[in-house]
Amino acid sequence: MAPWYILMSPAALSQRFEEALNFCVRLHSQQRRKGTQVPYIAHLLAVAAFVLEDGGDEDLVIAALLHDAVEDQGGLDTLQMIRIKFGDRVADIVDGCTDSYTVPKPPWWERKERYLDHLRAANSDVLRVSLADKLHNSRSILRDLRQSGDETWSRFNGGKEGTMWYYRELAAIFIESDLSSQMVEEFIQTVLEIEDLV
């Protein structure tokens, strides 16, 4: 009998999704959300859920699960593994969501400016997964601000000013894109709520 998520999913996820989920868990099993004890997999599952609920197909959902794999777990070697295991489309989306391939990462401002420039020209697949990622991150920031106040910003390399600049720029890009997604409005609303708290 097929696993419950395959039986219940409107997108009819296949065994490929299960393989991607297992691969994702292996890659990120020791990782935690920045400044917390929350297993990183919680973020990846949330991003995948956002994409699935937004009507994304299996390639998009797999890319959502793996969107941080290259950046955080092995660079270009990991990207090549994803390409072999899950195909060009998934690998291209993951690549499009990646802002660094090396450890240590380049300076924060440089990375973010380059990523924003890249996102302005990205296709709808990359935009949808990136938007899901940023939506979950912004919701986490909003929750943490409500619980911990300005202490929250100490976890971010860009601090309060840099992080707010980055999320305003992201909001402008998603608004200007032709992406048809309820997540755009949700992201804008979340950023505005963060602005109110700031």
> Which string of b and e fits 161-170 if b means at least 16 CB within 10 Å?
eebbbbbebb
**Residues annotated as part of the active site:** 71-72
| pLDDT tens digits, 64-83 | 999 999 998 888 999 999 99
State which residues form the domain around 163: 4-197
CATH of the domain at 170: 1.10.3210.10
- Residue 192 CA to residue 65 CA, distance in Å, equals 27
pLDDT of residue 8: 43
How far is it, in rounded angstroms, from Cα 129 to Cα 126? 5
pLDDT of residue 11: 53
- Please say whether the beta carbons of 152 and 164 come within 8 A: no
- The whole-model pTM stands at 0.91
User: Please, what is the average pLDDT of the chain?
Assistant: 91
Crossing angle (nearest 10°) for helices 41-53 and 124-148: 130
Lowest mean pLDDT: which of 10-14, 112-116, 136-140?
10-14
**Phi, psi for 190 (deg, rounded to 5):** -65, -45
Residues 36-57 have pLDDT tens digits of 778 889 999 999 999 999 999 9
How many domains in the chain?
Answer: 1
* Half-sphere exposure for 124 (CA within 13 Å, toward CB): 8
